[in-house]
């Protein structure tokens, strides 16, 4: 529907009439007569309307311009139909490990060997895109934990900042406890905590830094109802070149503390997952997609399109037209004066 954001601005419509009625009229001074030999110098005025006709015509055009200017000031708007947005009510925090061990190239992506963080970005990015209606936050941790994105419905920003992260950004060590504690603090700071609170924590190692132990942080998470899903990432074996030139098998995930990650998940009502390759990591995120949200009433909004620039443009065009006509009028009078003087 059509509406005016500031309808009270229409009170300015009678302002020109009030000015005309209240201010004293300009005195009409008559010029003395002039004797000229012929009327050829006035040929430019033969087809011109009389002064009174021209004055009235210009007055009405000016009033039309004033009307459109006041209409633009009232800010006309078009309000569209209500659009419903489903809100799941879930607060979903992602905590991604950026420690130095995430540089191990034991994953495959599109047929080529990539490091663990690159595989995590690719899979988690698709996961974020599917979380329509969830409020998503992003925590990056290494030796320290940082809140990269607070809880927001802007999934594109979360994806962008995740893709821009790099190994070593937060230090070389792993502070799992600090990452959980930071998530607890951000969830606890939310005004409404009636919705599901979920933390998805992905790491490839053990807690080697930070001020808070992981199990102690898990107790804090349990107190506020934060459910933690932990993901241990890294292959079980990897073939590398030996010093002698041969090949040998190693376990690149030897430092992964699965016992602690499992305990964290059990304490908070979550679940521990093991991602040994890209396919298993994708399956884990698909399982996380099955987390049932707490249903809430759908919120809606009406898109508002501002249209003030249309009447403003009309007023501007009419004003320019009047200025041009005034310049032409003044030019004609100047021409007559020059001919009289000559």
CA–CA separation, 108 vs 278, rounded Å?
6
Whether the pLDDT of residue 51 is over 60: the answer is no
**The pLDDT value given to residue 29:** 53
DSSP code for 236: S
What's the total number of domains in the chain?
A: 2
Whether the pLDDT of residue 295 is over 50: the answer is no
Mean pLDDT (whole number) for 302-310: 84
**The pLDDT value given to residue 307:** 87
Task: Note whether 329 and 219 are same-domain residues.
Answer: no
199 pLDDT band, cuts 50/70/90, is very high
Closest CA to 228 of 190, 267, 195, 191: 267
Residue 112 forms part of a structural domain? yes
**The pLDDT value given to residue 342:** 58
Whether the pLDDT of residue 195 is over 70: the answer is no
Mean pLDDT (whole number) for 132-147: 90
**Over the stretch 221-274, which tens digit does the pLDDT of each residue have?**
999 989 999 999 988 866 555 566 565 566 667 788 899 999 999 999 999 999
Residue 219 forms part of a structural domain? yes
Residue 72 forms part of a structural domain? no
Task: Note whether 214 and 338 are same-domain residues.
Answer: no
The torsion angles phi and psi of 208, rounded to 5 degrees, stand at -120, 5
101 pLDDT band, cuts 50/70/90, is confident
**Looking at 120-134, 167-181, 234-248, 264-278, which range is the least confident one?**
234-248
Task: Note whether 230 and 193 are same-domain residues.
Answer: yes
Which range in 39-48, 59-68, 73-82, 329-338 is most confidently predicted, on average pLDDT? Answer: 59-68
**The pLDDT value given to residue 244:** 61
Domain interval for residue 323: 313-342
CA–CA separation, 158 vs 40, rounded Å?
80
Task: Note whether 213 and 339 are same-domain residues.
Answer: no
Task: Note whether 332 and 270 are same-domain residues.
Answer: no
Residue 18 forms part of a structural domain? no
CA atoms within 13 A on the CB side of 15: 10
Task: Note whether 236 and 130 are same-domain residues.
Answer: yes
Residue 168 forms part of a structural domain? yes
Task: Note whether 281 and 319 are same-domain residues.
Answer: no
Whether the pLDDT of residue 297 is over 50: the answer is no
Task: Note whether 246 and 323 are same-domain residues.
Answer: no
Residue 159 forms part of a structural domain? yes
**The pLDDT value given to residue 294:** 43
Task: Note whether 291 and 321 are same-domain residues.
Answer: no
**The pLDDT value given to residue 205:** 84
Task: Note whether 220 and 341 are same-domain residues.
Answer: no
pTM of the predicted protein model: 0.60
């Amino acid at each position: 529907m059509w509406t005016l954001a500031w309808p009270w601005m229409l009170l300015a419509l009678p302002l020109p009439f009030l000015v005309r009625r209240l201010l004293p009229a300009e005195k009409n001074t008559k010029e003395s007569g002039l004797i000229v030999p012929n009327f050829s110098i006035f040929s430019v005025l033969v087809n011109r309307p009389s002064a009174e006709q021209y004055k009235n015509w210009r007055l009405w055009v000016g009033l039309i311009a004033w009307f459109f200017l006041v209409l633009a000031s009232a800010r006309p708007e078009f309000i569209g139909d209500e659009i419903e947005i489903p809100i799941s009510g879930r607060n979903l925090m992602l905590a991604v490990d950026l420690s130095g061990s995430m540089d191990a190239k034991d994953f495959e992506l599109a047929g080529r060997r990539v490091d663990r963080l690159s595989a995590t970005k690719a899979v988690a990015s698709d996961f974020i895109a599917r979380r329509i209606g969830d409020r998503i936050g992003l925590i990056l941790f290494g030796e320290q934990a940082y809140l990269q994105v607070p809880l927001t419905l802007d999934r594109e920003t979360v994806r962008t900042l995740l893709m821009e992260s790099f190994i070593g950004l937060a230090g070389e060590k792993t502070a799992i406890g600090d990452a959980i504690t930071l998530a607890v603090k951000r969830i606890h700071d939310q005004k409404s905590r009636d919705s599901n609170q979920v933390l998805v924590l992905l790491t490839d190692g053990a807690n080697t830094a930070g001020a808070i132990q992981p199990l102690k942080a898990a107790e804090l998470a349990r107190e506020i109802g934060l459910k933690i899903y932990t993901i241990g990432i890294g292959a079980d074996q990897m073939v590398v070149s030996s010093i002698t030139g041969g090949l040998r098998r190693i376990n690149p995930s030897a430092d992964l503390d699965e016992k602690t990650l499992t305990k964290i998940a059990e304490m908070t009502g979550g679940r521990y997952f093991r991602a040994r390759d890209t396919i298993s990591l994708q399956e884990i995120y698909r399982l996380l997609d099955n987390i049932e949200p707490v249903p809430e009433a759908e919120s809606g909004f009406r898109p508002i399109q501002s249209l003030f620039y249309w009447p403003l443009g009309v007023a501007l065009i009419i004003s320019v037209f009047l200025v041009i006509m005034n310049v032409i009028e003044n030019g004609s009078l100047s021409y007559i004066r020059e001919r009289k003087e000559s």
